[in-house]
Amino acid sequence: MKLPLAGQSRPWRSVEELQSPPAPSRELGPAEPPSRREVLQLLGASAALATMGGCLKPPDEKILPYTKQPPEVTPGNPLHYATCSTLDGRATGLLVTASEGRPTKVEGSPEHPSSKGGIGVLEQAQLLSLYDPQRLKVVQYKSELRSWRDFLATMIAKSRVLRDRRGEGLRFLMEPSSSPLIAHLRQRLLEVYPRARFSSWSAIPLQQIHDGAQLAFGSAYETRIDLSRAQAVASLDADFLSAMPGNARPMKDWAARRVPPNMARLYAVEAHLSVTGMNADHRLRLKPSQVHRFGLALLGRLVPRHAALAKRFSFSAEELRFADVLARDLQRAGAGAAVLVGARQPPVLHAAMHAINAALGSSVVSQAKPVLHEMDAGPRALRVLAEEMRRGAVDTLIMTAYNPVYGATSDINFAMALSQVNTSVYRTLYADETAERAGWVLPAAHPLESWGDARAHDGTISFQQPLIAPLYAGVSEAEMLAALFGEGDRTAYTQLREFWQARVPELGRFDLTWEKWIADGFIPGTAVKAESPAVNHDAVLAEAMKVPPAEKPGLEINVVADTKVLDGRFGNNGWLQELPDPVTKLTWENAALLSPATAAELGVEQGDLVDLTLRGPPARAPVVIAPGHADGAVTVAIGYGRRSDAETLCKGIGFDTSTLRHSDLPWFAPGLALVATGRKARLAQTQQHHSMEGRIIAVSAALPKLRETEEMLEEQRGAPLSFHRPWDYSKGYRWGMAIDLSRCTGCSSCVVACQAENNVPVVGKDRVWRSREMHWLRVDRYFLGEDAANPGVVFQPLMCVHCESAPCEYVCPVNATVHSDEGLNEMVYNRCVGTRYCSNNCPYKVRRFNFFSYTSEYSDQEKMAFNPDVTVRSRGVMEKCTYCVQRIERARIHSRVEGREIRDGEIQTACQQACPADAIVFGDLNDSGSRVSRLLSSERRYDLLHELGTRPRTGYLARVMNPNPELA
Amino acid sequence: MAESALQARRELDPLPLIEGRHDDGTLNKTLLDYVWQRPQPGWLTLFFIGMGGTGLLLAGIAVTLAKGIGMWGNNIPVAWAFGIINFVWWIGIGHAGTLISAILLLFQQKWRTSINRFAEAMTLFAVMQAGLFPVLHLGRPWFAYWLFPYPSTNSIWPQFKSPLMWDVFAVSTYFTTSLLFWYLGLIPDLASLRDASAKRSTRFIYGVFAIGWRGSARHWHHYKIAYLLLAGLATPLVLSVHTIVSWDFALSILPGWHTTIFPPYFVAGAVFSGFAMVLTLMVPARRFLKLKHVITLRHLEAMSKVMLLTGLIVAYGYLMEHFIAWYSGDEFESHVFFQTRARGPYRGIYYLMIFCNIVVPQSFWFPWARRNVFYLWIASVLINVGMWCERFVIVVTSLHQDFIPANWAMYYPTWVDFSLLFGTIAFFGTLFLLFLKYLPAVAATELKELRHELEHEWLEGAKR
Amino acid sequence: MKRYVLGEFGEPEDCVEALRKLHEAGVQGLDAYSPYPLHGSDEALELPRSKVPLVALTGGVFGALGGYVMQAWMNGVDFAINVGNRPPHGFWTNIPITFESGVLLSVLSIFFSAIFYFFALPRPYHPVFESEQFRTASLDAFWVSIETEEEEPVADLEEKLRSTGARRVHTVVESA
Amino acid sequence: MSALFKPGANTSFRVTLVVLALLLGGGLVAGPMIYVRSPYFTQQQDPVDQPVQFDHRHHVGDEGIDCRYCHSLVEKAPNAGVPPTSVCLNCHEQIWNKSPKLAPVRESYFADRPIVWNKVNKLPHFVYFNHSIHLKQGVGCVTCHGRIDEMALVEKAQPLTMGWCLECHRNPERFLRPREEITSMTFRPRDQLALGRALKDQYHVHTRVSCTTCHR
């Protein structure tokens, strides 16, 4: 997607900057000379055309009906299909809307037992990756275009040779997978090629969880979290509230436990401020190397057998007090207590966690047999494979793992190893760094256009069905592996169906069950049952004693998975690149996060470009001052600094962290050097001011003082004084929305849902820097309290609140924004002339303006992602949240045609539907029984900027914290 | 005896309105003859600089129309910036012309006679620059016709509760009134040019525009009343136009915008910056066009006194804004006035505004300042810079930090913004140069009448 | 064919004096021409009060009324929409445009009634322009003209004009 | 003794002024307003030719086929839909199956490529019209599409401008008809207003004039 760069030169920022040399502004891609079309525009040729735009005759249109219309299709009405998508090997249940035969919206599947309707940002944004015109389109061999036939022929020849050598020199590097079909194919491959070896690789592996379980229980397990009965939870760097895959169910249960009066309590111990950290009642900032030592110290306090660990590690008095209070609270909570540990932490801490949870008899944490095929998907396995490749022991390498050349840590040097392999096959969505070095490169079929199966996070077997025929003749993983048996022509569907038919023969009429499974998207009752095996305390203690008491002093690196581009695979996805990071609000790049104290000590400021070196070449990164970050550490996110020419959106965006990661210490390591380069970078943050300046905006109250706060909120609700008699909305529907800030975790899943539903364009980094981003809904994040190092955090999703006496309406000169009879503030795009006075007069500043024509440069594929029910806005037009009026109108017409009223909950706005925590509720205020009416009559309810008399229809419920009196 | 008495009387007058002895003939020669001369080199260079600037303006307009408002620096929350600042600044400058020609006529101020044509022309050209922006800053300028109440096939009407609709009516009425008032005053002079010029071709051109005016007493009888009535109507009009322009801000709910002091404070500001622009143009014009005998120090001093008065009203406006912000106890208001403007990122412009609009006019208390022509010119330029900064402070600082801190953002202008600002100044200058060259800068008819009246009055005085 | 007997005066007072004498003498078709309005010429010719103010008033009233009715009908009656909870028709919000349209129509009626009706311009040709000397009428001289149809009274009128002290007297004839 | 202008100049001055006023006022203001209401712009009464000579007079007039047989989506989707080729072949497999006029239909069916019809009643892309609700509330096909049974080639009968739609949205009783008479081309009640008001209550017709009814 070539972003429509306006080509204007550097703007004047301040008088000083005019004199100083211009900072190196990293424009997106090379600044090409203006194209012929732009020159024509600049000559005003199109200016004349533009002025004539208003009165040309309506263009001719065609109608293309079906020849044979499939029975279930009614052109004009969307259909919904259940499918799933796997991101770290495990599936999330999806419900995808198909309009006119193409997927236009990805939502969570409400019936799926594992996610119950919740959905993260990545699954929703996969829709945009499906239509990315820069996807790999054709099979290539060493960058020459070949056909699928050529690949099959070569594979048949190669398989004959390999069969003779019984699979000697055949290696597989798979994407972590839990698919029963793939497991079956792997078994058949091992039968045919006994000497072949399988290994899987992911930049964010679960390997350390499995090693920890191996250490504690003697065999590998995966942890299951059921927070519905949680009372006191301690998260040691476990970000279970962010919008990542697998967090949907924990977030839903946790949100239910955060509604007063009886609330759970969350402690967080981490190096960088994470989404879970923002939601914690108490937060302890520790250097990355100290987090697992703190866990072991906690183990020492909670389990008498491990008492020796309590005093072994050096902590400050305040940190020790935190540990003691935490230990007492966990013991008090008993079965409701839980200690959760992040996947980045070393195995010894996972083992310690199992010991603690077993000792506390926690009902929250349980273990389950792993669903993934490989336990070891981390750098350790990759280094072994790389050694073999370098020794030339590998003749044929089949790769489906994501981009190992880019993602592998620098000491493995996978690129050089790959060059020693005779025949390498790489299946990928984009021609990325690995594809440039691999032999055969096969275009992968996108999850939304391929058949497959997988197991969900709770083990439920889920099915993946295509919403559209493959756009670029992509091949699915099963088809590629089948090619090795010479069965390249058996499609994934036939393989899948025959595989499942074979497994359940006794069920008689298989096709009925098969239709039911595919319609539901999962097989009910196939979740892996949770168990709680015995903990081998001696092994845990032995391992814990091996941990040195203190780490070497000095700056430490803290590498995290990016909440938006995961490990780089979503780099070319506009929705995710432009999604503001839930914590730093940064878009379009990663940065070096530093605490205010460390930044002052190193003499760097926000936006400085610094060189980070750790046992390798330096990486140049911009600095972001992050309140709440641990001192003496620098946090960087993986997935940026991509170098592949095929993905222009993310080429040169952010910096590559692979030089800072080494296979022995992939996540955090001491000995980091930070050197300022004296040059400045331009950071595109959607929020530049982080304090509420003492204003009543996002109200946060401690549970004990909730009564007081509710009295204070008395004046923040109710009808304000006004000259004008309120309009009569008693007849018909009276739409309103309630947002419960206690339930909201600030994960921003709603922002992507809104962008997908309402065709909101992506504008690019330079325009986000100029604060022209187009999101209709944003999550504002404020810091509270005076302690800048470890502030409290509160966040507030803010969209148009549809004021009943709207300041934006009476200033519009052409009646382009008016009020509907049901209380919606209507924005009529075709009437707007773009004076922008409505945006100036909106006190919430939730209106967005099309400064350029953002969608006219979209290619045809990208336009397929548009929701046909929502007008695509032209240049010069204002737009804003419409309470998903297209869904309201469809429900109204549908209910009227059926001759009934609209039921409560029948209309769900896109943000409400995507919110894993059910924090957003939309409904009819005239129906006192509706969920939104009940919520808005709660004592915690308040209106934003109530004293302005705008009478908003969106009411907020104050956020309640549950601090521990001993620590408050 | 008449001669010496006349001479004596003149010394007693403070500063003469017309210097030296003149009669109709000499007035004709000095006020009309330069219209025939070939353009001097000075005029030509200025003219070509102006044409260059107008080219820059056209480039800015073409780029804005072709690619969109995104080429400017505007963003969310600062959706209005240079476009509206220039509009208010230019319409403000325009008001001085109407003030001089209409309000001072009603007050029978004699010193208006020699500068009213000059100021009215400036009004016309300033309003032309101002009128450019309400259309150009629209997102979709090709639908600007929706701002007018015409019966459309979608049977929807404009929304008359919006101050922008009032703007449309106010500015178009103001432009029409200024144009007609200016042309009515110009007809007798065009007739004089028609009869005084030598070449038949120029006589024909001026003859066409003079539409056959022959100075008949029966016509003068209606002319005087019509001119007086137009002046009478233009006076409330000019006050209402800038009140409506101030309502663009006062009717919003933004802190720093919705104060009731805006209408009088904007009108005073308009007259203040209008007089400054008249002075800026007049000082060089009276030197190059040798009009010193009719635009005497008396006129410059009178104008500087008016600027002192309106400058004080503007200063009072600032004071009242800050006082009400403090007195009202509204946290948003006090933040805008005491944090954002005084200590925010745009504080430099705020202090420049304070210096130019409050400190510089205080020098007009002293006669040496009022009579030093060079100083007056420098002061008038500074005042207009100050007034532009005042609009910048009002528009941008109130927008970029308002109610919800999460959407506070910086505003940075782009080259298109500057090309429109300096382009309109150059275009204004070009139009003004053309006016100075091809039309009498001073109203010869009214001046002859004034000279006759002064002499007649003096003779009566001497007789008694 | 109209004939105009023209007399040139040096001073405005002499011209007004001559005008008064001729008017009292009952001469018809009298008119004076001057670069600027002559004080006292209206009384001399006993011109009736000018109707321009009346035209201005009617223009202003119709303009204001029209402006108010336009707004009230368009926003209040024809397509009434709930805009910011304000009543579709609001008296106070209609005032600015009512005032502006009142002034606009009043100004237009003044200007165009003056030009087309009261001055009866555009009239680039007028018999008076036939005489070359008459060009001083808009510069520094003051003229009196007497209009007659036939030839005979011209001599008598020229005599009368000279008696009032005109500097130069001559007659022009309207060309075809 | 030559005056600057000749006597003829007076009339030529006045004529030019009048012409200028007319040109400016008429050309700039009245001209476009007349043009957008003329059939040239609204494309009314302008038969649109189609790839197949389908004659509604024969099918609707003579054969009396109900609209909903071919436009089957009209009661359950926003757009009425043009029939798939298979519907044409329901009859034309037996009758007229050799006629050259129907060659494109047969070719489309066997080559599985849609017939590319030209749209007649076009609405701007920012207008969301829904057929199903209009039929449910008793608006007949003929009200908006005119006498289709008398059209050789379908043409646009009504301007379909916003003002035209608003007339019905403001007082629907002038156009409502019983649901059974929806596809009738010749339905003419004795007293439309009385019938309209009765149907309005019976079908719970509350037409809305808010903008998001049609613009979203």
State pLDDT tens for residues B3-55.
666 666 555 556 778 887 777 788 888 888 778 788 888 899 999 999 999 99
User: Which of A434-448, A554-568, B16-30, B296-310 has the weakest average pLDDT?
Assistant: B16-30
A490: helix, coil or strand? coil
Neighbours of chain A (3+ CB pairs under 8 A): B, C, D
Tell me: pLDDT of A50 over 60. Answer: no
Please tell me the distance in Å from D157's CA to the nearest CA on chain C.
26
Look up residue A841 and give its DSSP letter.
Answer: H
Both structure tokens of A226: 């059921």
Give the count of Cβ contacts less than 8 A between chain C and D.
33
pLDDT of residue A512: 87
Residues 6 or more apart from A645 whose CB is under 8 A from it? A431, A651
Same domain flag for C20 and C32 = yes
Same domain flag for D91 and D147 = no
Give the 3-state DSSP-derived string for chain D, with helices as H, strands as E and coil as C.
Answer: CCCCCCCHHHHHHHHHHHHHHHHHHHHHHHHHHHHHHCHHHHCECCCCCCCCCCCHHHHHHHCCCCHHHHCHHHHCCCCCCCCCHHHHHHHHCCCCCCCHHHHHHHHHHHHCCCCCEECCCCCCCCCCCCHHHHHHCCECHHHHHCCHHHCCCCCECCCCCHHHHHHHHHCHHHCECCHHHCCCCCCCCCCHHHHHHHHHHHCCCCCCCCHHHCCC
Rounded to an integer, the average pLDDT of A770-780 is 95
Distance CA A463, CA A681 (A): 45
CB contact under 8 A, C125 and D14: no
What own/partner pairs with CB < 8 Å and gap ≥ 24 does C61-65 have? Answer: C61/C102, C62/C105, C63/C101, C63/C102, C63/C103, C63/C104, C63/C105, C63/C106, C64/C98, C64/C99, C64/C101, C64/C102, C64/C105
Q: Classify residue B152: in a domain, yes or no.
A: no
For the whole prediction, is pTM greater than 0.90?
Answer: yes
Domain that holds residue D112: 83-116
Rounded to an integer, the average pLDDT of A744-763 is 95
Same domain flag for D109 and D147 = no
Tell me: pLDDT of A8 over 50. Answer: no
Chain A partners of C85 at a C-beta cutoff of 8 Å?
722, 724, 726-727, 804-806, 819, 951
pLDDT of residue A39: 57
Mean pLDDT of chain B: 91
Tell me: pLDDT of A18 over 60. Answer: no
Q: Identify the CATH number of the domain in which residue C133 sits.
A: 3.30.70
Closest to B254 measured CA to CA, from A186, A501, A843: A843
Same domain flag for D71 and D99 = no
Same domain flag for C106 and C63 = yes
Query: Are β-strands A423-428 and A440-443 bridged in parallel, bridged antiparallel, or unpaired?
Result: parallel
Cα–Cα distances in angstroms (integers) from residue A939 to residues A150, A257, A715, A947, B291, in the given order: 69, 18, 12, 18, 78
Please tell me the distance in Å from C43's CA to the nearest CA on chain B.
10
Distance CA A945, CA A399 (A): 56
Same domain flag for D105 and D190 = no
Chain A partners of D108 at a C-beta cutoff of 8 Å?
67
pLDDT of residue A330: 94
State pLDDT tens for residues A128-178.
999 999 999 999 998 899 999 999 999 999 889 998 998 888 999 999 999
CB contact under 8 A, A818 and C82: yes
Q: Classify residue B230: in a domain, yes or no.
A: yes
Same domain flag for C56 and C113 = yes
Q: Classify residue B411: in a domain, yes or no.
A: yes
Same domain flag for D78 and D88 = no
Query: Are β-strands A920-924 and A878-879 bridged in parallel, bridged antiparallel, or unpaired?
Result: unpaired
| Nearest residue of B to residue C67, measured between CA atoms | B169
Distance CA A512, CA B410 (A): 62
Query: Does A856 contact chain D (CB < 8 Å)?
Result: no
Please tell me the distance in Å from A696's CA to the nearest CA on chain B.
10
User: Which one of C80, C100, C118 terminates a domain?
Assistant: C118
pLDDT of residue A241: 94
pLDDT of residue A27: 33
What domains can you pick out in chain A, each with its CATH number?
140-205+374-520 (3.40.50.740), 210-368 (3.40.228.10), 552-680 (2.40.40.20), 700-720+733-961 (3.30.70.20)
User: Which one of D71, D99, D116 terminates a domain?
Assistant: D116
Measured in residues, chain A has a length of 968
Q: Classify residue D6: in a domain, yes or no.
A: no
Closest to A76 measured CA to CA, from A755, A894, A879: A894
pLDDT of residue A827: 96
Domain that holds residue B289: 2-142+158-463
Same domain flag for D78 and D184 = yes
The fraction of chain A above a pLDDT of 70, given in percent, is 94
| Residue A859: how many other CB atoms lie within 10 Å | 13
Both structure tokens of A470: 């493959």
Tell me: pLDDT of A2 over 60. Answer: no
State pLDDT tens for residues B233-255.
999 999 999 999 999 999 999 99
Instruction: Find the CB nearest C50 among B156, B177, B222.
Output: B222
Q: Classify residue B130: in a domain, yes or no.
A: yes
Rounded to an integer, the average pLDDT of A372-377 is 87
CB contact under 8 A, C90 and B161: yes
Q: Classify residue D22: in a domain, yes or no.
A: no
pLDDT of residue C54: 96
pLDDT of residue A865: 94
Chain C partners of A809 at a C-beta cutoff of 8 Å?
83-84
Instruction: Find the CB nearest C124 among D1, D2, D13.
Output: D13
pLDDT of residue D28: 87
Q: Classify residue D89: in a domain, yes or no.
A: yes
CB contact under 8 A, A821 and C82: yes
The fraction of chain D above a pLDDT of 90, given in percent, is 78
Same domain flag for C39 and C59 = no
State pLDDT tens for residues A66-83.
999 888 889 889 999 999
State pLDDT tens for residues A616-650.
999 999 999 999 999 999 999 999 999 998 999 99
Is there a contact between C15 and C156 (Cβ–Cβ < 8 Å)?
A: no
Look up residue A305 and give its DSSP letter.
Answer: G
| Residue A259: how many other CB atoms lie within 10 Å | 15
Question: Which run of H or E residues covers position A144?
Answer: strand A144-145
Instruction: Find the CB nearest A58 among D73, D124, D204.
Output: D124
Rounded to 5 degrees, φ, ψ at A787 are: -75, 95
Q: Classify residue D94: in a domain, yes or no.
A: yes
Residues 6 or more apart from A240 whose CB is under 8 A from it? A225, A247, A250, A251, A254, A276, A340
Q: Classify residue D35: in a domain, yes or no.
A: no
Tell me: pLDDT of A796 over 60. Answer: yes
Distance CA C97, CA A418 (A): 77
Q: Classify residue B353: in a domain, yes or no.
A: yes
| Nearest residue of B to residue D32, measured between CA atoms | B152
CB contact under 8 A, C81 and A815: yes
Residues 22-61 in C contacting D (C-alpha not used; CB under 8 Å): none
Query: Are β-strands A337-341 and A232-236 bridged in parallel, bridged antiparallel, or unpaired?
Result: parallel
Same domain flag for C60 and C112 = yes
> What are the strands, taking DSSP E only, across A915-957?
920-924, 941-942, 954-957
Chain D partners of C130 at a C-beta cutoff of 8 Å?
1-3
Tell me: pLDDT of A566 over 60. Answer: yes
Our count of domains for chain B comes to 1
Chain A partners of D89 at a C-beta cutoff of 8 Å?
none
Mean pLDDT of chain C: 91
Distance CA B166, CA B173 (A): 10
Going by pLDDT thresholds of 50, 70 and 90, the confidence category of residue A9 is very low
| Nearest residue of C to residue D163, measured between CA atoms | C79
| Residue D1: how many other CB atoms lie within 10 Å | 9
Same domain flag for C91 and C132 = no
Partners of C171 in beta bridges: C5
Query: Does C125 contact chain D (CB < 8 Å)?
Result: yes
Q: Classify residue B150: in a domain, yes or no.
A: no
Query: Does B155 contact chain C (CB < 8 Å)?
Result: yes
Residues 6 or more apart from A428 whose CB is under 8 A from it? A136, A402, A403, A434, A435, A441, A442, A443, A444
Rounded to an integer, the average pLDDT of B322-349 is 93
Closest to A213 measured CA to CA, from A358, A325, A112: A358
What is the ipTM score, two decimals?
A: 0.91
CB contact under 8 A, C124 and D14: no
pLDDT of residue B99: 83
Both structure tokens of B346: 């745009």
Going by pLDDT thresholds of 50, 70 and 90, the confidence category of residue A26 is very low
CB contact under 8 A, B406 and A853: no
Specify the amino acid at residue A894: H
Instruction: Find the CB nearest D3 among C122, C125, C176.
Output: C125
For A550, what's the count of Cα atoms within 13 Å in the CB-facing half-sphere?
A: 7
CB contact under 8 A, D1 and C176: no
Residues 340-399 in B contacting C (C-alpha not used; CB under 8 Å): none
Mean pLDDT of chain A: 89
User: Which of A8-12, A443-447, A905-909, D24-28 has the weakest average pLDDT?
Assistant: A8-12
State pLDDT tens for residues D128-164.
999 999 999 999 999 999 999 999 999 999 999 999 9
pLDDT of residue B9: 59
User: Which of A254-268, B23-37, B309-323, B344-358 has the weakest average pLDDT?
Assistant: B23-37
CB contact under 8 A, A67 and D114: yes
Specify the amino acid at residue A398: I
Tell me: pLDDT of A16 over 50. Answer: no
Closest to B91 measured CA to CA, from B131, B60, B61, B57: B131
Same domain flag for D105 and D170 = no
Please tell me the distance in Å from D20's CA to the nearest CA on chain C.
14
pLDDT of residue B12: 55
Rounded to an integer, the average pLDDT of A294-306 is 91
Chain C partners of D2 at a C-beta cutoff of 8 Å?
130
CB contact under 8 A, B76 and A810: no
Chain C partners of B170 at a C-beta cutoff of 8 Å?
96, 100
**Burial bucket for residue A674 (CB in 10 Å: 0-12, 13-18, 19+):** buried
Our count of domains for chain D comes to 2
CB contact under 8 A, D10 and C129: no
pLDDT of residue B444: 87
Going by pLDDT thresholds of 50, 70 and 90, the confidence category of residue A55 is low
Higher pLDDT, A379 or A4: A379
Rounded to an integer, the average pLDDT of A319-327 is 93
Distance CA A852, CA B70 (A): 6
CB contact under 8 A, B446 and C93: no
Rounded to an integer, the average pLDDT of D72-86 is 91
Neighbours of chain D (3+ CB pairs under 8 A): A, B, C
pLDDT of residue A309: 87
Tell me: pLDDT of A693 over 70. Answer: yes
Domain that holds residue C78: 52-118
